[in-house]
Amino acid sequence: MLDAAARHVLGTEDNEDSQDNEDPRLERLRQLGALFLHRDIFSDKMTGLVFAGFGGNELFPSLQAVEIDGVIAGRLKQKLTHKTDIDRENRRNGGVEKRLVQIIPFAQTDMAERFLDGIDPRLEREIVRSVERAHQTALEQFRTSHPELDQEVANKAADLFATYLNETLKHFKDDALANHKAALREEIEDMALMMPKQELAFLAEAIINLTSIKRKVSCEEESVAGPIDVAIISKSDGLIWVKRKHYFDIQFNPRYLERIRAAITKRQRSTSHAEALDGDGATTAPDSSHGLRPAPKRPRSRGRSSHPG
């Protein structure tokens, strides 16, 4: 694909001589094309993976999230979007955010961020754009409202006024809005820190339900709907499903549960049978009927042998 595009740009796609004597610009265009595709620009077909849990020697969980956009020029196009370690101290260490508690939404995050930050992301962007437009209008009015001033003096005053407006806008975006959002999110995360595990599962499901309801009552595509899978990962219990949807209603399929119970019972009996054989000093070998069968024992010597007379 890159070769075809490069040859089209150079106008050598139909030239047979160019295939024998390759234009050096072709390799350069090929490299530029590969570099462009590997840039931090992802298509709307990209997907994401989230890895979370406990290591063997970790007391607190860790999380890493990546976005993937296919394989280009033999390399996986991916970027790390989140890297978080839960820790007793709130700090950053080598690009890893270490905090005591964190609520991190993924995929369609607009309603989750509205709930956590207290402001809709689209409204936040519109407020910032409105303030920027107001600053630009004020600057233009200042330039045109004092024609009596010397040109050099007017330019210096306009530059000072523009600097003041830019600093005000930067303070509004980076301090006022950021601090407001951080304070509201901290209130929710502080409460989450004290919640039992089942309440945390309810909180996660409720946040996803906010997005589902918003998609249902708006003209947007209903991309979040239906039953929600909820799981809890803890150091003591591992992965526990709190809610898990099936492609069928379990109430109308009692035989499915019977088959599952029968399989579990058979496995337990096979395990108990194998342990009992091991306890008697016998070895075990596979068998088609029970899964395990005792291996034949060798005859024991009684201290003397008998010979035919």
* pLDDT tens figures, 263-299: 999 988 888 777 776 665 544 444 444 444 444 555 5
**pLDDT the model gives residue 167:** 84
The per-residue pLDDT for 157 is: 76
pTM beyond 0.85: no
Structure confidence at residue 13 (pLDDT): 52
What does the pLDDT read at residue 65?
92
Per-residue pLDDT tens digits for 60-96: 899 999 998 888 767 788 888 888 888 877 666 655 6
pLDDT at 199 over 80: yes
Q: What span, in angstroms and rounded, lies between the C-alpha atoms of 129 and 123?
A: 10
308 against 270, higher pLDDT: 270
Cα dist from 220 to 7, 45, 90, 229, whole Å: 42, 18, 38, 23
Q: Convert the pLDDT of each residue in 11-22 to its tens digit.
A: 555 554 545 456
Give yes or no for residue 309 having a pLDDT over 50: no
Highest mean pLDDT, choosing among 90-99, 133-142, 169-178, 180-189: 180-189
Predicted pLDDT of residue 38: 63
pLDDT at 300 > cutoff 60: no
Domain boundaries, the chain: 250-294
DSSP for 202-238, written as a single string? HHHHHHHHHHHHHHHHSSS---S-S---EEEEETTTE
Q: Burial letters for 221-260: b for 16+ Cβ neighbours within 10 Å, e otherwise? A: eeebeeebebeeeeeeeeeeebeeeeeeeeeeeeeeeeee
Q: Report which of residues 48 and 139 the model is more confident about.
A: 48
What integer pLDDT is reported at residue 262 of this predicted model?
92
Rounded to 10°, the helix 197-217/110-117 angle is: 120
> How far is 77 from 72, CA to CA, in rounded Å?
7
Mean pLDDT of the chain: 76
pLDDT for residue 253:
84
The 3-state secondary structure of 78-114 reads EEEEEEEEECCCCEEECCEEEECCCCCCCCCCHHHHH
More confidently predicted of 201 and 6: 201
Question: Which residue type sits at 284?
Answer: T
Helix ranges (H only) for 101-177 are 110-117, 121-144, 151-171
